[in-house]
Amino acid sequence: MDAVWSLEPHTRAKHEILRRYLEAWFPIVKRLNPSGLNYIDGFAGPGIYSRGEEGSPIIAIRTAMEHVLPMPDISFMFIEKEEDRAERLREVLAERFPELPENITHEVYNDEFGNVIGRILDGFDAEEKVLAPTFTFVDPFGYSGFPLDHLKRLLEPRGSEVLVTFMASRLRRFLDEVHERTIDELFGSSDWRVARELSGEQRTQFLLKLYKKELLDSTPARHVMTFEMVGRHGNTIYWLIFATKHPKGCQVMKEAMWKVDPTGSYQYYDSAAGVRRFILDEDDPEWASQAQDEVWNHFRGKQVPVEDIEEFIAPTTYLWRKRKILVPLEDEGKILEVEGRSRRRTFPGGCLITFAP
């Protein structure tokens, strides 16, 4: 393939999601670690498309540079296996950013993601240092070269997150023996072999569910969301898988997707319910009553901090609009008492909510 290729509409949308997400992530994580953050683009590409459109590395730096808020030190690491693409990326970075502010640094590694990450993490371990909060974007053409074990280590620092383009439909066609080692590394186990007994959509669903399970069970991620990228003809192009340790990350990602395309080319796959759904925003007429019902059914008779409700909403299709969900429940007498607030009909952080039996 050429060093540069044309930009597909779904890639443009993915870039917009990334941009919106980072716009929110940089300042949130700055509060966790004011001294610095890392951004890793593990499959960086040449930084440019055939008509001059910007690639993900440029978009990420631009988001930090043009941010309205003061940014912390951000170290951008771009990893690209192909020499001509890595070289092109260096040129594009120099062209687009002839001068960078002191707090922004970048480095292009012409190597494989696995090698670079292994070296960096081993170096930190050897010196007993901890990596700063890190956002890792894993955007391959296929399904090889990003072992689960590396994602696990990258998710360890506080505030770290991973966004993966998961080529489920490509993967499902190559479950033969030749690819066994690669797929074992991808999942961090050999459990995927069961998928050989399945076919078509069932096979895809199995692989997606398993990947999500492995991320939840074998890495520090506490929430994993899967979004199906649907093409113009209703075909699945790929899945975006987002792993985070904090419910706020889910909320921000859902907001980013919602804003990019509220009509829902991106469907959130609710693996618990086994269905695809659109992200539900407050503009949806069904939104408020459905969200209230789900919270009420789950928490009825319990006393919980408001953060537990936020955690409950995180992996669902609802956005966390706490007043819109909780005020009506209180008005209907389904919330009996709220401890730790000074004003009625508010639900500040740390407040304790008692639901009616």
Ligand X SMILES: C[S@@+](CC[C@H](N)C(=O)[O-])C[C@H]1O[C@@H](n2cnc3c(N)ncnc32)[C@H](O)[C@@H]1O
Burial of 289 (0-12, 13-18, 19+ CB in 10 A): exposed
- Find the shortest distance in angstroms from Cβ 313 to ligand X: 30
First to last CA, the chain: 62
Instruction: In whole angstroms, give the CA distance from residue 36 to residue 104.
Output: 10
Interacting residues toward ligand X by CB under 6 A = 41, 43-45, 55-56, 79-82, 85, 112-113, 139-141, 145
By beta-carbon proximity to ligand X, the closer residue of 44 and 164 is 44
- Find the shortest distance in angstroms from Cβ 140 to ligand X: 5
- Find the shortest distance in angstroms from Cβ 332 to ligand X: 47
By beta-carbon proximity to ligand X, the closer residue of 45 and 188 is 45
By beta-carbon proximity to ligand X, the closer residue of 139 and 161 is 139
The C-alpha angle with vertex 215 and arms to 274 and 150, in degrees rounded to 5, equals: 150
By beta-carbon proximity to ligand X, the closer residue of 136 and 292 is 136
By beta-carbon proximity to ligand X, the closer residue of 144 and 317 is 144
- Find the shortest distance in angstroms from Cβ 119 to ligand X: 13
Q: CB of 276 within 8 A of CB of 266?
A: no
Helix axes 322-331, 306-313, angle to 10 degrees: 120
Helix axes 322-331, 287-299, angle to 10 degrees: 70
Instruction: In whole angstroms, give the CA distance from residue 59 to residue 55.
Output: 6
By beta-carbon proximity to ligand X, the closer residue of 44 and 313 is 44
- Find the shortest distance in angstroms from Cβ 144 to ligand X: 7
DSSP string over 85-135: HHHHHHHHHHHH-SS--TTEEEEEE-S-HHHHHHHHHHHHHHTT--PPPEE
By beta-carbon proximity to ligand X, the closer residue of 45 and 315 is 45
* CB-based contacts of 133, cutoff 8 Å, min separation 6: 29, 32, 33, 37, 38, 157, 158, 159, 160
- Find the shortest distance in angstroms from Cβ 243 to ligand X: 18
- Find the shortest distance in angstroms from Cβ 94 to ligand X: 17
